């Protein structure tokens, strides 16, 4: 995936003691996205708006707020997270992702 004519927010988003980082971009169409990397670990993230997480490299296991089971996702796959919710994610190797907001 390649994005052209974007605005990049210079300040990094840093979570979980620096083990998860991302940069925010706004596309020419006005869409907000973050491009990020997660180091191995287990993390919980809360959402305000709905999100689509696109895995671009690596493998992770995800448990959404309303689920009991973990689901595996790998490069080329996405998962949706409802707004005003949360999800747990387990990463065993470096994970590269794009978070689409909306």
On the question of pLDDT at 2 being above 90, the answer is: no
Model-level pTM greater than 0.85? Answer: yes
Class of domain 7-101: mainly beta
pLDDT 10s digits, 31-40: 999 999 999 9
What residue has token string 């949706």?
80
pLDDT at residue 102 in the model? 75
Backbone angles phi, psi at 16, to 5 degrees: 50, 55
Domain boundaries along the sequence of the chain: 7-101
On the question of pLDDT at 1 being above 90, the answer is: no
The SS3 of residue 43 is strand
Neighbouring C-alpha atoms within 13 Å toward the C-beta of 87: 21
H-type alpha helices, the chain: none
Mean pLDDT along residues 48-74: 97
């Amino acid at each position: 995936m390649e994005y052209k004519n974007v605005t990049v927010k210079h300040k990094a988003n840093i979570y979980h003691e620096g083990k998860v980082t991302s940069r925010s971009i706004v596309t020419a169409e006005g869409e907000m996205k973050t491009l990020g990397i997660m180091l191995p670990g287990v993390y919980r993230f809360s959402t305000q708006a709905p999100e689509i997480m696109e895995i671009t490299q690596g493998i992770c296991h995800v448990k959404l707020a309303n689920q009991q089971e973990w689901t595996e996702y790998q490069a080329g796959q996405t998962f949706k997270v409802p707004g005003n919710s949360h999800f747990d994610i387990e990463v065993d190797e470096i994970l590269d992702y794009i978070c689409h907001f909306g």
